[in-house]
Chains A and B, each alone.
Chain A
Amino acid sequence: MRQLIFAGMMLGVSALLTACQPQSEQKLRIGTNLWPGYEPLYVAHQQKVFKDLDVQMIEYRAAGQVLNGLRKGTINMAAVTLDEAVRIAASGIPIEVIWLFNISDGADQLLARPGIRDIAGLKGKKIGVEGNALGAYLLQRFFALHQLNPEHYQIVGLDLAAHAQAMAKNEIDAVMTFEPEKSKMLRLGATALFTSKEVPGEVLDVLIVRKDSPDAPTEAQLQQFISQYYQHFRKMQQHWQAWYPMLNRRMKLSDTELAVTFSELQVPSAAEQLNILSDKPHMQKILQGYQDVLLNIGMIQQACDCQSLINTHYLESL
């Protein structure tokens, strides 16, 4: 009798719990803009390496859209540049960097339209830049390195996708850009006045994950994700060229352009990533550098607590 009542009550409670429980594990919604360094991730997704994980790729056209998506919570993971990660962290959104896609070694360039041959020719001209992204940082770094006064330039916010088009229509004179827009403009006869080669090791593309949203991925998911991705990444790393067609599916560059682009990127192995990311003084210096610039140009209002921004835990467990 008593047992029966108990059983009945248990049945009821369990039914209630079932009703309240999350139906399944969180989707890994990864937002990226169009950037060659992120393509291995798309290839891996396309190759269906993520087993038992619900991975969805959100293909934004611009870095700003990625940041917005992260802020809005429509995505819980994103591929961004490290400076963007700092900006996000500084805005109070808790994120962690768990993977280093590449280090830009010239892939980001300031292209001037045909007719402008050098930096001096740029003075007083309109420079397009993705307003809410790496471009702004790089532009500052360009000004700083070349001791230019930003006030002598008209800086125009311009989404990546519109870069080539805007230049073609002569709406801008120069633009801080990267692939695949870069190749389009080069085809139009644009000239690179500045590349990320000048700031070696400063432009890093990383995978970040938002930690606080209700649908934040669990550590186990992330561990599984990194692990599965790593398996595939190793295969691609062994023979990059073999994967070029796959890597070019979204970029739609010519083979040459693609080869050039990848030559302007350093794609570190997992061990290298771990070396770089776990070098705290080095990373701290880079991060501080970002913050100084960003604070200076008002893109962040306060310094971020970036002590825990880099999480090498997943890389370490590979």
Chain B
Amino acid sequence: MRLNISLLPLLLTIVLALLGVGLLYLMHQSMTRAQLIETERQHLVESLLEQHSLLENYLMRGDDAALKNWASLKSESRHVQAVLVVTPDWKILAAHQVELEGGNLTAFSQAIFQQLDTLPPQQLVRPIQLQTNQSDQLLLALPLHFASRQGWLLLQYDLTAALQAGLAITLQNMGVYVISMLLSGVLTLLLLKKILHQRLRQLETTLQHYSTGQNQARATVDDGNEFGALELMLNQTFDALDQQRHLVERSHIFNQVILDSTTDGIVSANAHGRILQVNPATLNIFRYQSEDDLLNQDLALLIPGEFRQQHHLGLADSAEHGPGKALNKLRQVEGLRRDGSLVPLDITISKTELFGEPIFIAFLKDNTEQRQYQLSIEQLAFTDMLTGITNLNGIKRLLVQQHKYRWVYLINIDGMANLNHSFSFDTGDNLLKACCRLLQTKLPASCVLARHQGAEFILLACQDPAQMLPKLSALQGHEVALEKFNLKLSFCATYVSLPESTDFEDVLHSAELMMRQAKAAGRGSVLQVEPGLIQHLQHNALLCHQLELAIREEQLFFYYQPKFSARDRRPVAAEALIRWQHAGQMISPAVFIPLAEQSHLMPQLDRFVISKACAQIRDWLDAGFKVMPISINLSARYLVDDSTIAYIFEKVGEFDVPAHLLEVEVTEYSLIQDEAHTAENMIRLQKAGISIAIDDYGTGHSNLATVLSLPVQNLKIDQSFIRTGMSSSKGRAILENILQLAKSLQVTTTAEGVETEEQLAFLQRSGCEYIQGYLLSKPLPHPEFERLMQSAGIPTPA
């Protein structure tokens, strides 16, 4: 049965109305009725009391007729059933019925008599309510005085009419109540029908239309009541749904476009390996024409036979144990095309759930081109382009993979630079190719040959030198046919063992260092790498680097070798000797000067000496010292360079050094080549007031006349000369001649390395003007030299 919901209010109203009626009736029966009776009683009692005195008056007068009249008239009232005036002897004096008068009360009602008879004499005049056998009756007894005795006025009221009137009112109320309830129910029904029913129907229609695809369907919004909000909300929901649908459609199209346009293949399959979806790129990769060729097929169709077993196992494993090892990893595999060819693929498989079912999605990338590219890159990286054999990278990769090679041989073809220069680089290249072929053919096949750089080959061998060296030696002088001529092959070789744990780079490095030694040793040299030598070379290289740093950061400093007057032993000048303290250790000039020479650091070192000396003189002058001339050593090789002279002038000018306080001692004077230009520069210095001295005279083989032909002011005679001069008369004569010649040329002389009084005495006698040496002072560090300057009678600074 279908219950129309809009009838509910009406039904409810009817139920409520009936309940209300029932309640009202019950109320009437219980409360209202009792109340009515009570009200009536009160009213009657009051009227009785009002008339009491009148009745007493009648009694007093004995006016029975009046009493009877009164009783009659009293009984006139509709609700009065009985009126009795009863004497103390229970005789009815007056009554509503004439017939009763003169009779006894007991004849009228035994029950009333009994009730009254049991009552005590009443002190107060008040009606007493007696019991009657009818519920709607009210029986009142009012005491009356008959002389000194007590009689009664009895009044019996019938309340039926009053109660009926009350009931009528109640019924009327109930009627009004029922009608108003029904009216409100009907009104509610109509209202509901109009609003609820119609508008719900409208909403239902709109929803039906919308659900059947009429997306433009909208509810008519009427803001008149709460439905307005509902209708508005429905419309908004439709709008939102529309928007969402548009978004979904767009997203779907977008996804489809991506799926269609991506060059990556996307394949989805269910847990049983059945293909659910493929995109065009997949068809392209596997050379299929239509999706239908693949849809619902087993994935194995796309997998080469040898991997199918593994694929099935993986699928089963994934189904049983959740995410498999293969998931979410980029792997490189091969796919099976329709035509049976294989295609290299990058594959990533992800697993997801769709409608509660696990599905696998494979993202495929055709790797054919990349593979080719990768191969060519590898070729480039690991192959020597010229010879086609492996290169250093290839060797390194090989060594990572294989550890059987115990020896490394480095083979460097001699005269390569000359060949290139004399002929052409092609000739050189041809030689290299020919060598390569030769080495490949002549050396054991187990060896690995790689071209390193330039004319150098690396040979990895398992064989020890005892086996290999004869084979290599056999190749020396081997005739190699080039385009235009034949060439006798010559090469230097170094070799070193390759312990398993050693870094190949280090090994190669040492072999290369050793190759320098071999090259220095001449064509065809074959040397084994000597770890000590390598270490030494490396140490020197390191020292060189640190020396450069020291020069740049001015870590070098001077010791001062005082020069004394031979005559009175008074210090007159000093030679600034460069010193280097590195890592807390003094490094001898005999070590670092040759290093500087080797590594072409001398110009920088000289400039440092020039600048430092000038700055020191300026410091002393500024400090108020009586500064004695300071000499610095400069190699004759650099004195020919104008820039060196210019630098001296620059620094002298910069520090405002009085020219006579600076002296240049020329070392290695024997290496002077451009004598004229060197002399020119010396003159420029002299003209500026800077004196020139020849240092260490006697160590080389220069002719004294040649030396003295240079514009020098001082000749410093090497210690060896002094020793020689002291040991023999011939030597003494030579020394004396030197001194004499210098004197004649107005060149002052200084004897170096004077160690004994005897030497000093001799030199004094021979006319040597200045001496240096341990006899009077060893080279002094800076503070001591300053003290010397003070103690030499030269005034201390202010």
Quick one: which of B66, B76, B172 contacts A19, CB cutoff 8 A?
B172
| A28 to B: closest C-beta gap in Å | 12
Q: Which A residues touch B175, using CB under 8 A? A: 12, 15-20
A19-B69 contact, Cβ under 8 Å, with A5-B189, A58-B75: no
Q: Does B78 contact A (CB under 8 A)?
A: yes
B176 lies within 8 A of A34 (CB): no
A42 to B98, CA, bound (A): 11
Interface string of A25-36 (1 = CB under 8 A from B): 001010100100
Interface residues of B, CB < 8 Å — how many?
35
20 CB contacts below 8 A, A to B, read A8-B185, A8-B186, A9-B182, A12-B178, A16-B175, A17-B175, A18-B175, A19-B176, A58-B76, A59-B97, A60-B73, A60-B76, A61-B72, A65-B72, A159-B65, A159-B69, A161-B69, A162-B65, A165-B64, A250-B99
Q: A4-B10, A58-B76 are in contact. Are A19 and B168 (CB under 8 A)?
A: yes
B7 and A1 contact, CB distance less than 8 A: yes
Nearest B residue (CB) for A5: B186
A residues near B189, Cβ cutoff 8 Å: 5
Known: A9-B186, A16-B175, A162-B65. A75 touches B76 (CB 8 A): yes
* B131 interface residue (CB < 8 Å to A): no
A204: min CB distance to chain B, Å: 23
Q: How far is the CA of A17 from the CA of B97 in the complex (A)?
A: 39
A-side interface size class: 35 or more
Does A128 make an interface contact (CB < 8 A)? no
Report whether A74 and B176 are in contact in the complex, using a CB–CB cutoff of 8 Å: no
Is there a chain B Cβ closer than 8 Å to A276's Cβ? no
Cβ of A62 < 8 Å from any Cβ of B?
yes
Task: Give the residue of A11, A75, A165 whose beta carbon is less than 8 angstroms from that of B178.
Answer: A11
Is B115 an interface residue, CB under 8 A from the partner? no
Distance from B462 Cβ to chain A, minimum over Cβ atoms (Å):
111
Q: What distance in Å separates the Cβ of B593 from its nearest Cβ neighbour in chain A?
A: 129
Residues B75 and A59 in contact, CB atoms below 8 Å apart: yes
Complex Cα gap A59–B96 (Å) = 7
Q: Which residue of chain B has the shortest Cβ distance to A34 in the bound complex?
A: B98
Contact in complex: B172, A20 (CB < 8 Å): yes
Q: Chain A residue with minimal CB distance to B164?
A: A23
Question: Which residues of the partner chain B approach A250 to less than 8 Å between Cβ atoms?
Answer: 97-99
A161 and B172 CA atoms in complex are apart in Å by 46
Kindly state whether residue B102 has any CB partner on chain A within 8 Å.
Answer: yes
User: Is the beta-carbon distance between A61 and B68 smaller than 8 angstroms?
Assistant: yes
Q: Is A117 located at the chain interface by the 8 A CB criterion?
A: no
The smallest beta-carbon distance between A37 and chain B, in angstroms, is 15
Interface residues of B (CB under 8 A from A): 4, 7, 10, 14, 64-66, 68-69, 72-73, 75-78, 96-99, 102, 164, 168, 171-176, 178-179, 182-183, 185-186, 189
Give the dominant DSSP class at B's interface: helix
Q: Decide: A13 and B10 in contact? CB cutoff 8 A.
A: no
Q: Are B7 and A8 neighbours in the complex by a CB distance under 8 Å?
A: no
A 144-170 to B, binary, CB cutoff 8 A, 1 in contact else 0: 000000000000000101100100000
Residues of chain B within 8 A (CB-CB) of A285 are: none
Complex alpha-carbon distance, A15 and B179, angstroms: 8
Bound form: Cα–Cα A250–B100 in Å: 8
**How distant is A245 from chain B, measured CB to nearest CB, in Å?**
12
Known: A23-B168, A250-B98. A16 touches B76 (CB 8 A): no
Q: A residues 38-77 with Cβ under 8 Å of B?
A: 42, 58-62, 65, 69, 74-75
Which residues of A lie under 8 Å from residue B174 when comparing CB positions?
A: 15, 19
Q: Which residues of B contact A31 (CB under 8 A)?
A: 76
Chain A nearest CB, measured from B69 CB (Å): 5
Q: Please tell me if the beta carbons of B179 and A16 are within 8 angstroms of each other in the complex.
A: yes
Kindly list chain A residues whose C-beta atoms are within 8 Å of the C-beta of B75: 58-59
Residues of A within 8 A of B4 (CB): 1
Least CB distance from A146 to B in Å reads 30
Interface contact A15-B65, CB-CB below 8 Å: no
Is the CB of A313 closer than 8 A to any CB of chain B? no
A65 engages B179 (CB within 8 Å): no
Answer yes or no: A249 CB below 8 A from chain B CBs.
yes
Select from chain B the residue with minimum beta-carbon distance to A16. Answer: B175
Question: Across the interface, which residues of B come within 8 angstroms of A29, CB to CB?
Answer: 78
Q: When the two chains form their complex, are residues A59 and B65 in contact, meaning their CB atoms are under 8 A apart?
A: no
Shortest A38–chain B CB gap in Å is 11
Residues of A within 8 A of B76 (CB): 31, 58, 60, 65, 69, 74-75
Assuming the contacts A1-B4, A59-B96, asked whether A16 and B72 have C-beta atoms less than 8 A apart, the reply is no
- Residue numbers in A under 8 Å from B96 (CB-CB): 59
Residues of the B chain whose Cβ atoms lie less than 8 Å from the Cβ of A27: 78
Q: List the B side residues contacting A161 at CB < 8 Å.
A: 65, 68-69
CA distance A165 to B58 in the complex (A): 14
A249–B66 CA distance with the chains assembled, in angstroms? 21
**A34 contact set on B, CB distance < 8 A:** 98
A280 at the interface (CB under 8 A from B): no
Give the chain B neighbours of A59 by CB distance below 8 A: 72, 75, 96-98
Task: Give Cα A76 to B124, complex, Å.
Answer: 39
With A9-B186, A59-B72: A15-B10 Cβ-Cβ less than 8 Å:
no
> Is the pair B172, A74 in contact by a Cβ cutoff of 8 Å?
no
